[in-house]
Amino acid sequence: MFGIGKHALPESFFKGSCDVHCHLLPGVDDGFATYEASLQALKKLEEYGVEKMILTPHFMKEYPDNNRTSISTLFEAFKDEAEKICDIELNLGAEYMLDVHFMDHFKQGFLTLDKAKTHVLCETSYLMYEHGVSKMLYDVMCEGFQPIVAHPERYEYASKEQYGNWKDKRYKFQLNLLSLVGVYGGMAEAKAHYLLNEGYYDYVGSDMHRLDNYRHFIPKLRLKTKEIDKLGQLLENNKRLFV
């Protein structure tokens, strides 16, 4: 059913891993709504072997109250509660929409994904690469930041030429793990396998908004051996963000 030569992920695949993209901070965006749900997810992820998570709430015009100060305050309170029930190390980043507010967030100071405080997780509209996006990314790169394009496989407008252009500009790519099993549709699944096999990705994240999707689809994921190896390398890259 899953194709010749495809395998489930090894049972210990996520042991010691770091998730660089999730919406686990409760009540701030379209991710987890309550402390209870977020803490339940953390306990499950600890069972998988996850050791570190970077929480990346949305910073976009749909959530105007999300700013560096407000999110940092909420994160510290949540982290205190999480430490009571699990040993997963929590860090705070953000997922920035490349919209009219992006440069305002730049001026406030980005919440980054790495120890050096340079890697910025960015996303665009799923349907179109809007005017001004290239200039925003150029400006922040000139200031020493490294853009990471979140889930590039999900952008319907993106062609092979577009992906090549982004790589030529030295943008890094972050794969949504569940794209590989079709959670975001067939086109995103096909693109995810293409980009993974071509070596375009630098990092991998769950982009978890709910625990149910993750718990349901991870056991269904079937990959070729070389894809599992490449995925394992991406997990190693995740950990190197903090070296």
Q: CA–CA separation, 67 vs 105, rounded Å? A: 7
Average per-residue pLDDT for the chain:
96
In a domain, 161, yes or no: yes
Give me the domain span that covers residue 151.
12-240
In a domain, 2, yes or no: no
In a domain, 3, yes or no: no
For the segment 157-169, the average pLDDT, to the nearest whole number, is 95
In a domain, 6, yes or no: no
For the segment 204-230, the average pLDDT, to the nearest whole number, is 96
Residue 37 φ then ψ, to 5° = -65, -40
**Is residue 115 within 8 Å of 241, Cβ to Cβ?**
yes
Give the three-state DSSP class for 62: coil
| Amino acid identity at 4 | I
**Can you give the CATH number for the domain in which 38 is found?**
3.20.20.140
Task: Report how far Cα 164 is from the mean position of its chain's Cα atoms.
Answer: 20
For the segment 120-132, the average pLDDT, to the nearest whole number, is 90
For the segment 12-26, the average pLDDT, to the nearest whole number, is 98
For the segment 114-141, the average pLDDT, to the nearest whole number, is 93
Strand partners, 22: 208
- Is residue 130 over pLDDT 90? no
44: number of Cβ within 10 Å: 14
Residue 1 has a pLDDT of: 41
Task: Report how far Cα 48 is from the mean position of its chain's Cα atoms.
Answer: 18
Question: Burial code of 112-151, b = ≥16 C-beta within 10 A, e = fewer?
Answer: bbbeeebbbbbbbeeeebeeebeebbeebbeeebbbbbbb
Strand partners, 174: 150, 203
Question: pTM value?
Answer: 0.96
**Is residue 221 within 8 Å of 180, Cβ to Cβ?**
yes
Residue 22 has a pLDDT of: 98
Which pLDDT band, with edges at 50, 70 and 90, does 4 fall under?
low
For the segment 55-63, the average pLDDT, to the nearest whole number, is 97
The 10s digit of each residue's pLDDT in 62-102 is 999 999 999 999 999 999 999 999 999 999 999 999 999 99
Task: Report how far Cα 171 is from the mean position of its chain's Cα atoms.
Answer: 15
Which pLDDT band, with edges at 50, 70 and 90, does 128 fall under?
confident
| Number of domains comprising the chain | 1
The rounded percent of the chain whose pLDDT value lies above 70 is: 98
CA separation, residue 136 to residues 41, 52, 145 (Å): 35, 30, 11
89 burial (CB, 10 Å; 0-12 / 13-18 / 19+) is: middle
Residue 131 has a pLDDT of: 79
In a domain, 121, yes or no: yes
- Is residue 2 over pLDDT 50? no
Task: Report how far Cα 183 is from the mean position of its chain's Cα atoms.
Answer: 15
- Is residue 3 over pLDDT 80? no
In a domain, 165, yes or no: yes
In a domain, 180, yes or no: yes
- Is residue 186 over pLDDT 70? yes
In a domain, 1, yes or no: no
Which pLDDT band, with edges at 50, 70 and 90, does 52 fall under?
very high
Q: Which residue has the higher pLDDT, 4 or 100?
A: 100
Give the three-state DSSP class for 134: helix
Closest CA to 61 of 97, 25, 112, 108: 97
